[in-house]
Structure 1
Amino acid sequence: MSQKTIIIGGVAGGASAAARLRRLDENAEILVLERGPYVSFANCGLPYRVGELIKSDDDLLLASPGLFRDRFKIEVRTGNEVRSIDTEGKTVSVRDLSTGEDYSESYDNLVLAPGAKALRPPIPGIDLPGVFSVRTIPDAREIQRWIAAKNADKAVVVGGGFIGLEMAENLKHLGLEVTLVEMLDQVMPPMDAEMTRPLEKHMSAKGVRLALGDGVSSFTEAADGKLSVQTQSGAKHEADIVILAIGVQPETSLAQAAGIDLGERGGILVDDRMRTSKPDIYAVGDAVEKIDTVSGQSMLLALAGPANRQGRIVADNIAGRDSRFRGVQGTSICGVFDMAIGSTGLSEKALQRLGVTNYRSVYLHPAHHVGYYPGAETLHMKLIFDSEDGKILGAQVTGKTDVARKLDVIATYIQMGGTVYDLEEAELAYAPQFGAAKDAVNLAGMLAANTLRGDHFPVSPTQAIPEEVTLLDVREAAEWDRGHLEGAVHIPLGSLRDSLDKLAKDQPVWVYCHVGKRGYDAQRMLRQHGYEAYNMSGGWLSWGERVILKRR
């Protein structure tokens, strides 16, 4: 007998579940109820619609009710809001928002895909005209109208995550002066602070004013209609428009009212088949809690990729297949101007928050392809791994080119339980314009594996430099002249063997070069001559412009 499946919400998870279910079951009755005006749209593209890189709202529409009807025989009702769920009677109460009519629909299976809503904390003035969030196509449209109507030339973006960074870039493209306010002392809060510094420097060079480490305390409106953003430090930032990008929270009110269990993070609790605590009710996407495959902990993650995969798994299970969700590792990337920043797995700050201590990290700054081929760009990479078995725990990459490819390779190994030894043996496509015979991913694995084998003794730029060490700079004279660490001894690597008498053996020697390679060579040499030598991982590029770390 054919069964009736109702899907509440479209976009990524809900729309994927609907299409997949039809492909598996030609006889199923499928109804999608979406309270918004669009059933499936690319909300990740909204900042670029505001910046007019994407010229039309239609370009963001991935599927229409007509397409679902004609191609998949799926009924989609936009502008229809589910008001309540009767889990015993297996019905939903719905309101047609265009007519105000209330009606009921029965179901055999119910899929919840309500997504997440923008955080709007109770900050004084947050509901003033001109303070916007960016979650839907109508949101983007209203922002464009406001900018045009006000002839806006100043914007404040609150929040330094994905949407905040993308909105800052796109408002600059429109010619506005942009100030980005972030409560933490870095952009991209999930990442480790030292890995965001190259992007912050790049954004400043592009004209975005960064106000980091300073949370918003209030919004006020001046007599001339302009807005003022006051921060906890007492600073004031004038704006014609304010964009709130301080995060999202799962939309769980409907599930909670129906008695569906929520998890410890406040999202809908599901098992690996995406089943909720109520029979025949599934949930997918931003509203559900996921298991972090690296830490084993429950987490919230608002990303389209996992939502799409979950939608497919729900459809499989409704159709009678035993399909299970593996979990997530938070692989993500953000493009800002002509630079990208991304991560996969756990950051060092996340590990510390979890109380994990048996990990190590290495830093490197390789070119994205061989240096002799024109156009080589520097990548800034951090690899985090288990200090006992070498299992990869996380990676972070920043750079202008090839960031996604490096991350994707490492992310795949993480998903398969890979180790740093796997990375050093990874066989990757090579030609001069694409990579190197020792790809950056291989190099990261080699550095980490050398650490575990006892060949490499790195110290991390997250460590403070003790007084009782000798700092040794092994770069060339021209590099030294451009800048060096205070108190360092300068002996170029080529002269080091003949200058060992200049170094005392009664205290450790911390060695650095430009990116860490010569530092490693120097550390190997010194260790074999009886010195307690350590390589300052990442070299001058990681240590030379440190902000939060000072010599003790």
Structure 2
Amino acid sequence: IMFERGEHISFANCGLPYYIGGVIKERDELLVQTAESMKSRFNIDVRVRSEVIKVDTDNKKVTVKSDSKGIYEETYDYLVLAPGAKAIKPGIPGINSNKIFTLRNIADMDAIKDYIDKKGVSSVVVAGGGFVGVEMAENLKLKGLNVVIVEAASHILAPFDSDIVVSVEKELVKNGVDLVLSDGVKEFVDTGNHIDVVLNSGKTLAADMVILSIGITPDTGFIKDSGIKLGPKGHIIVNEKMQTNIENIYAAGDAVEVTDFVTGLKTAVQLAGPANKQGRIAANNISGLNSVYRGAQGTAIIKVFGLTAAVTGANERALERAGIDFKKIFIHPSSHASYYPGALPMTLKLLFDDSGKVLGAQGVGYKGVDKRIDVIAAAIRFKGTVYDLADLELSYAPPYSSAKDPVNMAGYVAQNALTNKTNIITWDEVSKLNKDDYILLDVRTEGEFRRGHVEGAVNIPLNSLRDRADELDKSKIIIAYCKVGIRGYIAERILTQKGFKVFNVTGGYTEVERLR
């Protein structure tokens, strides 16, 4: 027996924003399974509009509130809990206005689309810059609406580090989506025709409607008195078999607390992939098969207009919270061989420890980001190292990649750093040094230098460096940079052989341009 509070089961919730935006044309495409198909195909008794409101673990019974049957009880041998998560609606004044919407299910999607179409909506404030908020902003903009994202944090998309997500923020602005960062919502004021969004800074944004996407919380209120253990934020605590503290009760999906595969800390991951795996593992164990869930690594991806951003493993903040030391490198490879038409640049960031173990990766670009992050995600899952990344044999033809794939290149750069072939430094680290202690050396061509450079840099093109090295002061540290890091590395090797103390800026001048 399956109970579902709403009208629909097994719908493509990740596709909801794209139906609102008109990218997905047919509503029925979002309905993966129905109650009827589950009955005919699997002989499962699906009861929609039936909400489980209580679990009696002592007597193995659930209390159900049904639109058709009223309140009744049903017994069970095994119970699987998959209640998911609901949108957070904080106690902000005006939060209950009928101009404020959340997006969780088909009914929410229908309500949003219906309101836009019937009310002649022209402006929307999206409160919250998570994945759903950003996807909604893109799709509302595609409908021709004026859209503002309001985010209380300093950047959107929390799983990404700030030095990667800035590219996403630029893409949003480039496509006409306004961003208000580091400023949360203080109050909503419904003026009749419009709704005013009053921010903590005192700024007021007028809009026709608001999409509230400031986060989600596990929908586990109905089991608080059941004896099933919950975590500090209300998530269901399970073991590696997805089993709760009650032997015959299992749980899966957005409502469960899991182990972070990289840090080992407890976390919650609201992603479709892990939820599907957890459901399969719970079913296996109920059926007598021995399956275990080894933790979540948070592999995620998002399309933002023409841009793709993807992440896997831990970000810098997660590693710092876990007390894990790490190193990082940036590379800016092409999506495929640069001489083949259509190659586009991407940025890859790799996090790893002193042993070379890969801890996390993030990527952003217009083509080929997905497969690079997926390859690194697989390496993380098998506890791979940067040496493994360098050694991977990946498919190559000019339209698809380079002979040294970006994943290989990330491995090479990290490997060089770990084996002391290069002294890597980031621009953030450079900014903390005393300017009197170093010389900033730009080894790009004179033309590149004229088009833009870091203030105070000395320009000696790489091809002239061997002959002009004596122009540099050996008593000072040399910090070399080029466009992406390769020429900077060669310059570092040349000057090191000549007795200089040299660092190479990872990511080069491209990082400066990207972060502006």
Q: Structure 2 length as normaliser, TM-score?
A: 0.97
Q: Secondary structure at the match of 1:217?
A: strand
- Matching residue's letter, 1:303: L
Contact map agreement 1:343 1:396 (CA 8 A) in 2: yes
- Matching residue's letter, 1:364: I
Gaps of 5+ in 2: none
Please name the residue that 1:517 is paired with. Answer: 486
**Could you report, residue by residue, the CA deviation over 1:144-200 in whole angstroms, capped at 9, with x for unpaired residues?**
111122211111111111111101110011100111111122121221101011221
C-alpha separation in 2, matches of 1:416 and 1:432: 29
Contact map agreement 2:329 2:507 (CA 8 A) in 1: yes
Contact map agreement 1:485 1:544 (CA 8 A) in 2: no
C-alpha separation in 2, matches of 1:264 and 1:287: 12
Please name the residue that 1:272 is paired with. Answer: 240
Contact map agreement 1:265 1:289 (CA 8 A) in 2: no
Q: Secondary structure at the match of 1:500?
A: helix
C-alpha separation in 2, matches of 1:33 and 1:400: 42
**Could you report, residue by residue, the CA deviation over 1:499-525 in whole angstroms, capped at 9, with x for unpaired residues?**
111211112111111111111111111
- Matching residue's letter, 2:123: K
**Which structure exhibits the higher relative contact order, with contacts defined as CA atoms closer than 8 Å and separated by 6 or more residues?**
1
Give 1:454 deviation, angstroms. 0.4
Q: Secondary structure at the match of 1:431?
A: coil
Q: Note the 1:388-537 alignment, pairs <5 A.
A: 389-465=355-431, 466=433, 467=435, 468-537=437-506
Pick the aligned partner of 1:170 from 130, 136, 139. 139
Establish whether residue 359 from structure 1 lines up as the match of residue 326 from structure 2: yes
Contact map agreement 1:406 1:440 (CA 8 A) in 2: yes
Q: Note the 1:258-407 alignment, pairs <5 A.
A: 258-356=226-324, 358-387=325-354, 389-407=355-373
Give 1:314 deviation, angstroms. 0.9
**Could you report, residue by residue, the CA deviation over 1:337-360 in whole angstroms, capped at 9, with x for unpaired residues?**
01111100011122122222x210
Establish whether residue 118 from structure 1 lines up as the match of residue 87 from structure 2: yes
C-alpha separation in 2, matches of 1:292 and 1:116: 19
C-alpha separation in 2, matches of 1:167 and 1:375: 29
C-alpha separation in 1, matches of 2:413 and 2:492: 13
Please name the residue that 1:42 is paired with. Answer: 12
Please name the residue that 1:15 is paired with. Answer: none
- Matching residue's letter, 2:333: P
Please name the residue that 1:12 is paired with. Answer: none
Query: Identity rate of aligned residues, in percent?
Result: 45
Give 1:265 deviation, angstroms. 4.5
Please name the residue that 1:157 is paired with. Answer: 126
Residue 456 to residue 151, structure 1, CA distance change in 2 (3 Å): same
C-alpha separation in 2, matches of 1:143 and 1:544: 38
C-alpha separation in 1, matches of 2:7 and 2:225: 24
Q: Secondary structure at the match of 1:83?
A: strand
**Could you report, residue by residue, the CA deviation over 1:197-244 in whole angstroms, capped at 9, with x for unpaired residues?**
122112111111111121111111225x21111212222211111111
C-alpha separation in 1, matches of 2:266 and 2:233: 7
- Matching residue's letter, 2:476: Q
Contact map agreement 1:273 1:314 (CA 8 A) in 2: yes
Give 1:464 deviation, angstroms. 4.5
Q: Secondary structure at the match of 2:427?
A: coil
Contact map agreement 1:286 1:303 (CA 8 A) in 2: yes
C-alpha separation in 2, matches of 1:406 and 1:45: 23
Give 1:263 deviation, angstroms. 2.2
Give 1:479 deviation, angstroms. 1.4
Establish whether residue 59 from structure 1 lines up as the match of residue 26 from structure 2: no
- Matching residue's letter, 1:55: K
Establish whether residue 68 from structure 1 lines up as the match of residue 34 from structure 2: no
Give 1:250 deviation, angstroms. 1.1
Please name the residue that 1:9 is paired with. Answer: none
C-alpha separation in 1, matches of 2:229 and 2:487: 56
Please name the residue that 1:84 is paired with. Answer: 54
**Could you report, residue by residue, the CA deviation over 1:111-138 in whole angstroms, capped at 9, with x for unpaired residues?**
0000001111112212112111111111
Establish whether residue 95 from structure 1 lines up as the match of residue 61 from structure 2: no
- Matching residue's letter, 1:77: R
The alignment yields a C-alpha RMSD, in angstroms, of 1.2
C-alpha separation in 2, matches of 1:32 and 1:545: 50
